Amino acid sequence: MAKKIFTYKGKKLEELQTLSIKELADLFPARQRRKIKRGFSDQEKLFIEKVSKKDNVKTQLRDMIVLPNMVGKTIKVHTGKEFSPVEIQPEMIGHYLGELILTRRKVGHSSPGVGATKSSGSVSVR
């Protein structure tokens, strides 16, 4: 079976990487298009430059849109407690970095602790 070629709105990855930011904005959904047309902040501009120069960049910009020039890079996104690495795939183009990282963990309750009443020892806690 042949490997499927990635396309975003009918354009291949190489074509997307050659587009300007304004042309790319026209392909994105409304929310992302509005953010780009209003302009990137100074921090976001600095982040885009860093990502284009090197791999493995740390950031707290969870509202940054994944652009085609970020594909293949590893970006460490802040979860509120730590930086979690994300390998940027072509399918992530147009999404926000914050969508790619979970900030909440599954709660794993254990047995009742010290000081619990005797009746709570017989209750099964899952």
pLDDT at 124: 61
pLDDT at 2: 78
Is the pLDDT confidence value at 94 over 60? yes
* Span 8-46, pLDDT tens digits: 999 999 999 999 999 999 999 999 999 999 999 999 999
H helices present in the chain, as ranges: 13-18, 21-25, 30-38, 42-53
The answer to whether position 114 is within a domain reads: no
Burial, 77: exposed, middle or buried (Cβ in 10 Å; 0-12, 13-18, 19+)?
buried
Contact 79, 101 (CB under 8 A): yes
pTM assigned to the model: 0.79
The answer to whether position 108 is within a domain reads: no
The answer to whether position 15 is within a domain reads: yes
- Which are the contacts of 63, defined by CB distance < 8 A and separation ≥ 6? 35, 96, 97, 98
Give the residue, 115 or 22, on which the prediction is more confident: 22
The answer to whether position 110 is within a domain reads: no
> For the chain, what is the domain count?
1
The answer to whether position 112 is within a domain reads: no
The answer to whether position 13 is within a domain reads: yes
Retrieve residue 104's tokens.
């909440």
Distances (CA, A) of 43 to 49, 103, 104: 10, 22, 26
pLDDT at 126: 60
Q: 83: domain range?
A: 7-103
pLDDT at 105: 82
- Which are the contacts of 79, defined by CB distance < 8 A and separation ≥ 6? 101, 102, 103
CATH classification at residue 83: 3.30.860.10
pLDDT at 4: 86
* Span 35-89, pLDDT tens digits: 999 999 999 999 999 999 999 999 999 999 999 999 999 999 999 999 999 999 9
Measuring CA to CA, which residue among 83, 67, 62 is closest to residue 24? 67
The answer to whether position 111 is within a domain reads: no
The answer to whether position 124 is within a domain reads: no
